[in-house]
Structure 1
Amino acid sequence: MDDVVARASAEASRVEVEGREGFSARGASTARALLRRASERAADAREPSNGVDGGRVAMKSGASSPRYSRADVEAVEATLRTDHENAMTLTRERAEAAEREVASLTARCQELESARKSARSALAEMASQNAKLVTAFATKKDELKALRESAVASTAQPETKAQISELREALANARAETRAARETEAIRRRELDATRAELDDLRLKSRSDASSALKTQLASVMKELEREREAFASQKESWRQERAKLIRLAADPRMPEPRHTAKGPSPPKAPSSSSSSPKASSSTPPKGRRMPSRSPNKRITPPKPPKASPSPARQRTPSRTSPSPFKKKLRELREQAEAFKVRGNKAFHAKTYDMALQAYADALAVSFVDDPFRAVLHANKAAALQAMGKYCDAVMECCISRTFDDTYIRALQRRADAYLSMGDWPMAMKDLEELLPHMGEDCALKLREAKRKVQNGCTSCEHYSVLGVSSRATKVDVTKAYKSLALKFHPDKAPSDAVRPASEAIFKRVAEAYATLKDASARASYDASLAASRLRRTHSMP
Structure 2
Amino acid sequence: SPSGSAREGKVSPSSSSPRYRRSDVEAIEATLRTDFENALKLMRERAEAAEREVGALTAKCQELDNGRKSARNALAEMASQNAKLVSAFASKKDEVRALKESVEVTASQADLKAENAELRDALAGARAEARKAREIEAIRKKELSATRSELDALRSRVNSNNSDSSALSAKLAAVMKELEREREAFALHKASWKQERAKLVRFATDASPRKASSPRRASSPETKATTTPSKASPPKRETPQKAKPSPRRQRTPTRPSPKKRLSALREQAEQLKVRGNQNFHAKAYDAALQAYADALAIDFDDQAFRAVLHANKAAALQAMGKFCDAVMECCVSRTFDDTYIRALQRRADAYLSMGDWPMAMKDLEELAPHMGDDCAMKLREAQRKVKNGATSCEHYAVLGVSSRATKADVSKAYKSLALKFHPDKAPSDAVRPASEALFKRVAEAYAVLKDASKRASYDATRIRRTHSI
Give me the TM-score of the superposition, normalised by structure 1: 0.40
Rg larger in structure: 1
